[in-house]
Chain A
Amino acid sequence: MTAIDAYHLPGLREGDVARWNIREYGGGEVRLRVPVLEPPVLEAVVERLRVARANYLEARPVGDVVRAIDLAARRLADRGDPRRELAERALPAVTGYSPPMVRLVLDRMAADWTEPALASLLRSEFGDPAVLDTFRPRPGGNGRDRVRAFGPALAFHVFAGNVPGVAVTSLVRSLLVKAATLGKTASGDPLLPALFARTLAEVDPELGECIAVTYWPGGSAELEEIALRAAETVVVYGGEEAVAGVRARTPAGTRLVVHGPRISLVALARESLAADRAPRVAEEVALAAAIFDQQGCVSPHLVYAERGGDVPPEDFAGLLAKAMEGVERELPRGRISAAEAAAIQQLRGAAEWRALGGQDVRLLASEGTEYTVLYEADPAFAASCLNRVVRVKPIDSLDAIVQELAPYAAFLQTVGVDAPMARRLDLAERLGRVGVSRVTTLERMPWPPPDWHHDGQEPLRELVRWVDLEG
């Protein structure tokens, strides 16, 4: 099979490329090709991006940018489109997710890049999105003062991980604030960001000149130096070590936006564990844990189930296992590595022995490693080893989970809460205090809206600098 081009580098001619980096995925099932960039070539790409931004993007109305992105998104959402077909065919091997999962995730993520979604993101961030185009009256001001928001001349994005769409969302945010945008993809998914950029270039060649996406191996210090020096804003995804590496090499005056790994969980009120409600709750939890095979920052590791409902927490674990078995049929888990499977076996083995040692631990699992539900009476928070391993823990009162979460404050993200409204509000207050940045319903848990405060940050405002015009 010929290699798929997993890059978008405007102005790069095949003749400029002395060597290609071919990466094989799924045991050679899919081969991706990226050019091995020499530093001067990357310098030229960066320079060209800047010029293109000045020519095509800086003065372009934001509404226009939105419409171009919308066109590209609609192509990726269209199951008959050749580029969408390519994504569906290649992404299972590249990312490890099963084909139905890839389809579902592409559908959901592409919807976030369409005009209505982007318009609501812009309104939520700026109120009046025209501040990106011109000076506008300052909200709540004296009527004479005006404000204007400028995006960075060049934003450099360093991606990590294989969750499809996360990188594209980051690129989209960057274009919305009219930044020339350079994305370094992760080995976990170098493809979708490149496909997005290429699609964008097809529907809007001028905008396509303002974005470049490619992969180079981690530790290519010389290339990274070039990008880090050139960028006005750096957006970095990844673990502490990777982030620390980028932080150390980013010039002091450059703005750095960091998205580190996060953990999420579910909290169920006793009211949710009513006999007629619990099975549906279990299905929603199962789906939330299954999407992205639990690799997403929004994926729940653990369920706190409040005692006192019709269905006791240990029985809820049984319902959850049954629901996970159902999800496996429709949305099978993807391919995992030997080490990941071994981690699941290890967790199961340890659980069995804790039970033999007299602790109240119950293991409900598939025969293979497809899913694992682990009921543990000990309420201490414990993360999952991922790939559809969910812990269920009883708790006397949902209020008590806050103290269990405190040691993990720096890593908390989403809590999917199923509880009566008044209790949700109270719990959200407590969770927010301890460090949680998103409290949501079980159904919405895997799909944060485009205008969410991603990790407590402002997706577009954190990219811009403001100019005040006082009059």
Chain B
Amino acid sequence: MLDLEGRALAAELVDLFGRGVDAPLSDDAFDDLARRVFVYQFEHNAPYAAYCRRRGLLPDVVDHWSRIPAVPTAAFKEVALVCGDPREVDAVFRTSGTTLGRERRGEHYIPDLSLYHTSLLPNFVAHLFPDGAEMPILSLIPSAREMVDSSLAHMVSVVMDRLGGAGSGTFATVALGLDLDGLARALRRFEAERTPVCLLGTSFSFVHLIDGLRERGESFRLAAGSRLMDTGGFKGRSREVPEEELRAAYEELLGIPPDYAVNEYGMTEMCSQFYDNVLRDRVRHGAVAPRHKVGPPWVRTVVVSPETLEPLPPGEVGILRHYDLANLGSVIGIQTEDLGRAVEGGFVVLGRATGAPPRGCSIAMDLLLQAVEGRGR
């Protein structure tokens, strides 16, 4: 739980988020809030304050939100980056770990889940239900009851709870994975009823679905307006499928056209999420700008140089750094492991920083770990 000062700031933010993603938030207004959040964190999050001091970036030096120190996601593996007592939080979300690397899992302590929820819902609705539709939500992700420390499972559970129409359901468990039979039955029923549905899953759970449908020779023409949200990479969980191929399969096997396939980009270390622009553009403007990621106005993204960590001119490829006001209880600035490029209205993600294959005959650490783990299986 946040202290009195934190709760007051949280209330202000909850109010702001509640105005939705269309309420304008000028750079000045964002800057004011961001720096107040930073000052609060500097005073209440000791490891973060130590990190800022090492850089000489104290609140009185930081004159713009873009200069607030951003913490690499790796930091969440090492220390509890939280404002207040880590034992008194609403939730702890954890990253998935590797088996061989003695690396720890990242932990994001969330003192106040209301910020998480009030950021999540309007943004999700804006990008998955911009038409105001209500429909059954079918999840390919095990429920949050089973995966208590997964931020994604939590997100999906909240969304289903608040937004799911009659017939919503979860079609995966930790023990058994995807319930292909159950999901196919449900899809067949909704197809017959001409009821549009919304599917939510990780990219690799969709690969399992698609492979399973192909194997059974089944496909669906889901009712017009059906849509899906996929998220996350593959990390060796299934065969890797290029996203275009995946979207072609959505259309072929589910009858969901590419503009109704929205990729979500989120991370354990952030309370807010990003979504593809496509469905929102389609519904609001009839035309769709090239696919890119869009965040809510209370999140700002900077692309920094991988060489100097200084902000890059628009259009250049660099490391993505996000500033998220909903992260009030932890750290506002997150430096990701993702490479990307700023575009009009948002950014595109171009892959993981560690994903570069070695150019020579040596092997870099992440690929080595993957290879060694692969042999162990």
B371 interfacial contact with A, CB 8 Å: yes
Within 8 A of B (CB), among A164-198: 166, 188
Chain B residues positioned under 8 Å from A262 (CB to CB): 361-363
B75 interfacial contact with A, CB 8 Å: yes
Chain B residues positioned under 8 Å from A357 (CB to CB): 47, 78-79
Chain-A contact segment, one of B85-93, B191-199, B271-279, B347-355: B347-355
12 pairs from A and B in contact (CB 8 Å cutoff): A262-B363, A293-B360, A296-B362, A339-B353, A341-B307, A342-B319, A342-B354, A346-B74, A346-B353, A350-B72, A356-B79, A357-B47
B133 interfacial contact with A, CB 8 Å: no
A214 interfacial contact with B, CB 8 Å: no
Contacting pair B356 A353 (CB below 8 A): no
Chain B residues positioned under 8 Å from A342 (CB to CB): 306, 318-319, 337, 339, 353-354
A354 interfacial contact with B, CB 8 Å: yes
Contacting pair B364 A383 (CB below 8 A): yes
Contacting pair B78 A338 (CB below 8 A): no
Contacting pair A340 B356 (CB below 8 A): yes
Chain A residue nearest to B352 in the complex (CB): A339
Bound CA span A369–B305, Å? 11
* CB of A288, distance to nearest CB on chain B (Å): 12
Contacting pair A383 B368 (CB below 8 A): yes
Q: A353-B74, A369-B306 are in contact. Are A297 and B79 (CB under 8 A)?
A: no
B365 interfacial contact with A, CB 8 Å: yes
Can you name 15 extra interface pairs (CB under 8 A) apart from A345-B306, A349-B335?
Answer: A95-B359, A188-B359, A262-B361, A263-B362, A301-B362, A339-B356, A342-B306, A342-B318, A342-B339, A342-B354, A353-B75, A356-B50, A383-B369, A408-B368, A410-B372
Type the 1/0 row for A393-421, where 1 means its CB is closer than 8 Å to any CB of B. 00000000000000110110000000000
Q: A380-B102, A411-B371 are in contact. Are A296 and B319 (CB under 8 A)?
A: no
Contacting pair A163 B360 (CB below 8 A): yes
Chain B residues positioned under 8 Å from A368 (CB to CB): 307-308
Contacting pair A297 B353 (CB below 8 A): no
Q: A263-B363, A292-B360 are in contact. Are A407 and B100 (CB under 8 A)?
A: yes
Contacting pair A339 B362 (CB below 8 A): no
Bound CA span A345–B308, Å? 9
Bound CA span A343–B71, Å? 15
* CB of B42, distance to nearest CB on chain A (Å): 15
Bound CA span A342–B79, Å? 22
Partner of B72, one of A340, A349, A378: A349
Interface centre among B51, B306, B362 (most CB of A within 10 A): B362
* CB of A245, distance to nearest CB on chain B (Å): 14
Chain A residues positioned under 8 Å from B362 (CB to CB): 261-264, 294-297, 299, 301, 386
Within 8 A of A (CB), among B51-70: 51, 54
Chain B residues positioned under 8 Å from A386 (CB to CB): 358, 360, 362, 364
Bound CA span A365–B360, Å? 23
Chain A residues positioned under 8 Å from B282 (CB to CB): none
Q: For chains A and B in complex, what number of residue pairs have CB atoms within 8 angstroms?
A: 155
Contacting pair B364 A385 (CB below 8 A): yes
A384 interfacial contact with B, CB 8 Å: yes
Chain B residues positioned under 8 Å from A382 (CB to CB): 365
Within 8 A of A (CB), among B22-77: 47, 50-51, 54, 71-72, 74-75, 77
Contacting pair B72 A239 (CB below 8 A): no
Contacting pair A339 B335 (CB below 8 A): no
Chain B residues positioned under 8 Å from A81 (CB to CB): none
B145 interfacial contact with A, CB 8 Å: no
A113 interfacial contact with B, CB 8 Å: no
Chain B residues positioned under 8 Å from A331 (CB to CB): none
B375 interfacial contact with A, CB 8 Å: yes
Contacting pair B358 A343 (CB below 8 A): no
Chain B residues positioned under 8 Å from A211 (CB to CB): none
* CB of B371, distance to nearest CB on chain A (Å): 6
Chain A residues positioned under 8 Å from B371 (CB to CB): 239-240, 411
* CB of A290, distance to nearest CB on chain B (Å): 13
A10 interfacial contact with B, CB 8 Å: no
Chain A residue nearest to B317 in the complex (CB): A338
Contacting pair B51 A356 (CB below 8 A): yes
B343 interfacial contact with A, CB 8 Å: no
Partner of B354, one of A95, A166, A385, A407: A385
B288 interfacial contact with A, CB 8 Å: no
B224 interfacial contact with A, CB 8 Å: no
Within 8 A of B (CB), among A217-240: 237, 239-240
Chain A residue nearest to B361 in the complex (CB): A297
Within 8 A of A (CB), among B296-353: 306-309, 317-319, 335, 337, 339, 351-353
Chain A residue nearest to B74 in the complex (CB): A350
B357 interfacial contact with A, CB 8 Å: yes
Contacting pair A346 B50 (CB below 8 A): no
Type the 1/0 row for B142-178, where 1 means its CB is closer than 8 Å to any CB of A. 0000000000000000000000000000000000000
B367 interfacial contact with A, CB 8 Å: yes
A161 interfacial contact with B, CB 8 Å: yes
Interface centre among B50, B77, B335, B357 (most CB of A within 10 A): B357
Contacting pair B351 A339 (CB below 8 A): yes
Contacting pair A161 B358 (CB below 8 A): yes
Chain A residues positioned under 8 Å from B78 (CB to CB): 350, 353-354, 356-357, 359
Interface centre among B307, B337, B352 (most CB of A within 10 A): B307
Leading 6 A-B pairs by shortest Cβ distance: A295-B360, A342-B353, A349-B72, A350-B74, A357-B78, A341-B306
Bound CA span A382–B98, Å? 14
Bound CA span A317–B354, Å? 24
Bound CA span A353–B47, Å? 9
A114 interfacial contact with B, CB 8 Å: no
A102 interfacial contact with B, CB 8 Å: no
Contacting pair A295 B359 (CB below 8 A): yes
Partner of A188, one of B50, B102, B360: B360
Chain B residue nearest to A334 in the complex (CB): B359
Bound CA span A161–B318, Å? 24
Contacting pair B361 A163 (CB below 8 A): yes
Contacting pair A295 B358 (CB below 8 A): yes
A250 interfacial contact with B, CB 8 Å: no
* CB of A235, distance to nearest CB on chain B (Å): 13
